[in-house]
Structure 1
Amino acid sequence: MKKALLALAAASLAVLATSAHAADPIKIGLVHGISGHTYEVFSKQTQTGFMLGLEYATGGSMEVKGRKIEVIKKDTQFKPDVARAVLAEAYGDDEVVLAVGATSSGVTKGLLPIAAEYEKILIVEPAVADSLTGPDSNRYVFKTSRNSSMDMQGQAKALRPDANLYVATIAQDYAFGRDGITAFKAALKGTGANLVHEEYVPLKTDDYTSATERVYAALKDKPGRKVIMIYSADTKALGKIAATKPERFGIEISAGGHILPVLPTYKVVPGMEGAIYYYYGIPKNPINDWLVKTHQERFQSPPDFFTAGGMSAAIAVVKALETAKSYETEDLITAMEGMDWDTPKGKMMFRKEDHQALQSMYHFKIKVDPDVKWAIPELVREIKAEEMDIPVGRK
């Protein structure tokens, strides 16, 4: 009798322990720079989009399989050493199931070995550089953000390159800019287009005078169509370069799209063509409809560039949690490799080889409407993932 009672008690304790474990929240880390940098607006958009994405994907419950999702936010301050420390803290002390971050490509590079050390997943959003899923990356890293090759193949297609095209580039001198121009050169290969000069400016430069003078010297006497291609996260770059009046040398400007607060500066280049990752008025699907409506109601503004990225990452997280056999890292990796999911910009898919999310880009042409405070990236056409030959990074 005593043995039976002991067995019953042990079984009851096991049930209680299992129930308690089932009720524990699923912890997700958001690791972004929220202070100390002009790029913090990108981080805030990403985190807003991430919370909206969790809400959408869970039908408002913020639960997966009966367990609440708890989001733990960490501020990297845009400092590599701080970023590594807070990610380690999230994995170790906070025991997050996975983490999402970061904003700057240079800072995010330093997070890759932390994910490997703790053997936990890092979903990269919104950092862009190709190298984040490259040879120095690892199997714990997944990337929902687009990469430099997508940006640059989109830009190349928007320029309609041929032997008549002469291009000089201006980019920021760090991982984002350097990876981007490397990808742009690869995208132009075989088109006949001529890349005549590359210019790299310091990350926090305010003066583009010397850079543009060198670009003009390289371009102005070339025959055919002459273009400066700008690849910069600097919110003032396009306006400052346009102010130097490249048209006096018959030179055009081309640049990728940007966040809404920067798009008013694009009014100085009506008709400019380029490629953009997201503009709220372009995708036509139910998820984007919900995002635009909800964001407008809650924040009295449309969603922006990185809001859509954060939402895409959150929907991926929820699908992985719903489909994985368990929340152990290996089961999550198995569920996520090759996984596709719907986002505000359509279907995305984690490529099994390097965990980069394949996705569309949009060829746009700038339209200026005096009744709209920013320039409008009007859709020319969707550049689908299958049209782009995105190099496999980590093999």
Structure 2
Amino acid sequence: MNRTLIAALLGSAMAAPLAAEIRIGHVYGQTGALEAYAAQSHTGLMLGLEYATNGTMEIDGEPIKVLEYDTQLDPARGRAMLAEAYGDDDVHIAVGPVSSGVALAMLPVAEEYERILIVEPAVADSITGANWNRYIFRTGRNSSQDAISNAVALGEEGVAIATLAQDYAFGRDGVTAFAEALEGTGADLVHQEFVPTDTTDFTAAAERIFQAMGEVEAERKMIFVIWAGGGNPMGALNAMDPSRFGVEIATGGNILPALVAYKDLPGLEGATYYYYDIPQNEVNDWLVEAHFDRFDTPPDFFTAGGMAAGIAAVEAIRAAGTHEDTEALIETMEGMTWETPKGPMTFRPEDHQAMQSMYHFRIEARDDVDWGVPVLVREIGASDMDVPVRN
């Protein structure tokens, strides 16, 4: 081939515009105590992108590229990773993280770079509350939604409740929201216990709770547990036989490995974000079938959340007609309703929190299932929960 032809071909290649690329950054704790949550979240995100694009991984002919960043559950590192995603890698929309503490550190970075951050699955109220900015959208439920749905499920006249929670943003926000949500239900919150996140010996905390409960006259007494990660506080509490004090254990839903401990607590009640057999809709049907086909297991708590975030990103870009104009994306996403494995979600315009259903459940122990099965008592719709705007 002569030099003239080579030069012509090179010039033509250089003149041809590069294909546009939609870059989505997943900034999440791949390593650390919550890595099981993180793995589910990433699987769900990828399945959501696949589902929403009918398997093409393209939006209007433009390919989607997903870049991953490991926060290692360190707030400072999470902040640095998000800055790298927006600044060095020109990510258009970021998703994550797992930890509420990491999320709070990341929020100002989204504002600094004026890029969208879809928070999934960190739950602290302050993310869409006191620390919120207009670039933050959350598909995951917040502490108030957890708390209010559990208050709807458990709260009634003649009920006394004590709480046991982890001593950080997730636990403290959860208890604050739960206490607020119980007001007007007739139930009384009589005691609060906060313990370190890595606690494995719950004896002292449980004894303080039992003592407080012993001083209360009530038709029904409960310890409501707000917990994330390891430690198995419910198993530890159950081993201390709270029934001798007339006390039941109650809690919200959790991932399948954690539900193994629920099998020893048939009849336990609470409200959950997701259990694969509860929602009845086309998106969840697809997710359950795809997950069984590929992994030979059902999708879990945070798989559904990751999928909701992936679908939201695709629907927002498609509806806005752009992945680069952040203002157009914000305008599109405020009030946007889209279908998820849980049914429809809507980004509330005031704080960009996703309004969504929760599920009142009661645990059944089944011989052919390794974990306690959350059986639906009733769906708690978004309209059934008065979720406060806290920003």
TM over 0.5: yes
| 2:295 maps to 1:295 | no
- Once residues 16 and 97 of structure 1 are traced to their aligned partners in structure 2, the CA distance between those partners, rounded to angstroms, is 25
Separation in 1, partners of 2:280, 2:185: 31
Mapped pair 1:336 → 2:333: yes
Question: d(CA) in 1 for partners of 2:306 and 2:368?
Answer: 29
Matched, 1:388 2:374: no
Equivalent residue, structure 1, for 2:102 = 107
The separation in 2 between residues aligned to 1:194 and 1:362, in whole angstroms, is 22
Residue 16 of structure 1: how far off its partner (Å)? 5.3
Match of 1:268 among 251, 264, 270: 264
| 1:30 alignment partner, SS class | strand
Secondary structure at 1:268 match in 2: coil
Counterpart amino acid of 1:104? S
1:52 is matched with: 47
Equivalent residue number for residue 222 of structure 1:
216
1:28-70 deviations in Å (ceiling 9; x for gaps): 00000111x2211101100000000110000000000111000
- Corresponding residue for residue 369 of structure 1: 366
Following the alignment from structure 1 to structure 2, what is the Cα–Cα distance between the partners of residues 25 and 113? Answer: 25
- Check conservation: 1:29, 1:71, Cα contact below 8 A: yes
Matched, 1:67 2:74: no
Identity of matched residues, %: 56
RMSD between aligned alpha carbons? 1.4
Contact kept in structure 2, 1:220 and 1:251, CA below 8 Å: no
Aligned counterpart, 1:172: 166
CA distance in 1, matches of 2:76, 2:95: 17
Q: Does 1:137 align with 2:132?
A: yes
Match 2:251 to one of 248, 255, 259: 255
Residue ranges of structure 1 left out of the alignment (5+ in a row): 1-11
Aligned residue for 1:349, secondary structure, equals strand
Matches within 5 A, 1:308-347: 308-327=304-323, 328-347=325-344
Instruction: Tell whether the 8 Å contact from 1:196 to 1:218 is kept in structure 2 after alignment.
Output: yes
Alpha-carbon separation, structure 1, partners of 2:276 and 2:384: 22
Under a length normalisation based on structure 1, what TM-score does the superposition of the two structures give? Answer: 0.93
User: C-alpha displacement at 1:96, in angstroms?
Assistant: 0.5
- Distance of 1:139 and 1:42 partners within structure 2: 26
Distance in 2 between residues matched to 1:382 and 1:132, nearest whole Å? 25
Check 1:234–1:210 CA distance in 2 against 1; reply closer, same or farther (3 A cut): farther
CA–CA separation in structure 2 for the residues paired with 1:102 and 1:271: 33
Paired with 2:142 and 2:342, the residues of 1 have a C-alpha distance of: 15
Partner of 2:201: 207
In the TM superposition, residue 325 of structure 1 has moved relative to its aligned partner by 3.7
SS at 2:390 equivalent: coil
Q: Which residue of 2 aligns with 1:90?
A: 85
2:151–2:185: 8 Å Cα contact kept in structure 1?
no
Measure how far apart 1:223 and its partner are. Answer: 1.8
Task: Quote the residue 1:119 is aligned against.
Answer: 114
Q: Aligned pairs, how many? A: 377
Show structure 1 runs of 4+ deviating over 2 A: none
* TM-score, scaled to structure 2: 0.94
Cα deviation, 1:230-287, whole Å, max 9, x if unaligned, reads: 0111331211121111111010110001100111100111011100000000000011
Contact 2:23 2:66 in 1 (8 A): yes
What does the per-residue CA deviation read over 1:198-222, in whole Å, with 9 as the maximum and x for residues that have no partner?
Answer: 0000011111111101100100232
**Aligned equivalent of 2:24:** 28
Q: Would you say the 8 A contact 2:155–2:186 is kept in 1?
A: no
| Stretches of structure 2 lacking an aligned partner (at least 5 in a row) | 1-10
Q: Does 1:181 align with 2:178?
A: no
Cα shift at 1:371: 1.2
Q: Separation in 2 of the partners of 1:155 and 1:269?
A: 17
Following superposition, the deviation at residue 160 of structure 1 comes to 3.6
Structure 2 distance, partners of 1:361, 1:95, is 36
CA distance in 2, matches of 1:149, 1:301: 30
Q: Which residue of 1 aligns with 2:303?
A: 307
**Quick one: distance in 2 between partners of 1:24 and 1:319?**
18
